[in-house]
Amino acid sequence: MHKYWGLFLVLILTFSCKEKAATEQQIQKTELAIAPIVKPIKRHFGFNLDDFTVKMDTIRRGDSFGELMLQHKVDYPKIARITEDFKDTFDVRRIRVGKPYMILKSRDTSETAQVFIYENDVINYTVVDLRDTVRAYKEKKQVKFVEREVSGVINSNLSEALLEQGIDYMVTHNLANVYAWTIDFSMLQKGDKFKVIYKEKYINDSIYAGSEGIDAAYFEHNGKPVYAFAYENDSLKSIVDYFDESANNLRRTFLRMPVEFGRLSSRYNLKRRIRYYGNKIRPHKGTDYAAPIGTPILATADGTVTESTRRGGNGKYVKIRHNGTYSTQYLHMKKQNVKRGDFVRQGDVIGWIGMTGNTSGPHVCYRFWKDGRQVDPLREELPKAEPLAETLQPAYFNYIAPLKDQLDCIAYPPQPVEDELLAGELSALTE
């Protein structure tokens, strides 16, 4: 009976996913059919390029704004005015070698520069309009957001599972952040699965300009599924947190570990015996995470830096006080990134993995202090962040319903099937 029920559910699921896909395809086709045919205008940065003689180049070593303008017949007082009056919008001393720029020149024989456009980065640019009254302003290129669905099955680690599909490393980073409190990424199992919905940014429809934060995700670790939906928790401060399908916050007040992808190499152990010391008991009051030298070390919670120094076997270390109860300490750093008295947010880079002090390999020794005593953070029930406010929950459940359906409909990439598994499935089918 159970078996049939399961089969029935699977059929429904497959059907509704297919049905949805068909509708989407129809919509796309309709849009294509009614798209009007328009004569393309060479518009760029809000200017009709046909009106000018266009020079495109990148800033070279030794170039200065003044020099470039003089070459293009802009008189000196005008240049001086831009340098002075528009310092806040366009600081001419800050143009950088390698950045693209464009000069729109008059189409007459004088070829005087009319407009100077400097690309600050792939999205932002600055326009200096030299016609009539000089003015300078900042603009953004039109960015198109394209939703993307990605899924994977872990063979060795998360970043590999995503990188082999050509996915931006930022997605791995973001996914690790979403689940940093609920899943220990140093303990991933072969066969763990994930699905992600996020948006990619494109400029002029074609130039990839990075990815946005994750909208929704699903992670199955050790057979236990955890959904995650981005939702604005506090509209005043526009704080976005991730919540599960029951509106529980996925965040804890502490990160599970101080490195994004470290290997747990030695646990807190009060009875540790070390052969090197004649098999004597040498308690290990820290939790060690091995990672390559230079890997960022993250503050596991908000707090104030109480120590950032170098001392004996600890090497270079940082200690953070989080509240009256908890402090954390991070040893053997290559270099610290914070000073005593600094306030740090959870996830801030406070230093980098190194080998200073007593250590046989690159790792961070993470020490977790509770009421002045060192305890095992992996055994502590870490305080949970507040669930979504009850007043926000009805809107939240409405919002996530279609997203959850969408996640459930994402298929996993085909995996090499192991013979044993295949045989098992076949026998189940013929039973």
Residue closer to Zn ion by CB (options 151, 329) is: 329
Residue closer to Zn ion by CB (options 83, 265) is: 265
Q: Do 253 and 383 contact (CB within 8 A), yes or no?
A: yes
Residue 250 to residue 39: CA distance in whole angstroms: 51
Residue closer to Zn ion by CB (options 152, 262) is: 262
Residue closer to Zn ion by CB (options 350, 365) is: 365
> Shortest Cβ contact with Zn ion: which residue?
365
For the chain, first and last CA: distance in Å?
13
SS3 content of the chain, % helix, strand, coil (to 5): 25, 35, 40
Q: Do 277 and 421 contact (CB within 8 A), yes or no?
A: no
| Residues 410, 414, 418, 422, Cα dihedral to 10° | 70
Q: How is residue 96 written in tokens?
A: 């950088």
Q: Do 234 and 386 contact (CB within 8 A), yes or no?
A: no
Biggest distance spanned by C-alpha atoms of the chain: 90
Residue closer to Zn ion by CB (options 106, 356) is: 356
Residue closer to Zn ion by CB (options 333, 365) is: 365
Residue 327 pairs in a beta bridge with 321, 369
Nearest distance, CB of residue 266 and Zn ion, angstroms: 6
Nearest distance, CB of residue 330 and Zn ion, angstroms: 10
Nearest distance, CB of residue 288 and Zn ion, angstroms: 4
Nearest distance, CB of residue 374 and Zn ion, angstroms: 11
Nearest Cα residue to 130 out of 183, 84, 71, 82: 82
User: For binding to Zn ion (CB under 5 A), which residues are involved?
Assistant: 286, 288, 365
Residue closer to Zn ion by CB (options 199, 267) is: 267
Nearest distance, CB of residue 283 and Zn ion, angstroms: 11
Nearest distance, CB of residue 201 and Zn ion, angstroms: 41
H/E stretch holding 56: strand 53-58
Q: Do 336 and 351 contact (CB within 8 A), yes or no?
A: yes
Residue closer to Zn ion by CB (options 107, 263) is: 263
Q: Is 135 exposed, middle or buried (0-12, 13-18, 19+ CB in 10 A)?
A: middle
Nearest Cα residue to 196 out of 226, 164, 222, 224: 226
Nearest distance, CB of residue 271 and Zn ion, angstroms: 15
**190: phi then psi, degrees, rounded to nearest 5:** -60, 130
Amino acid (one-letter) located at 160: E
Nearest distance, CB of residue 252 and Zn ion, angstroms: 22
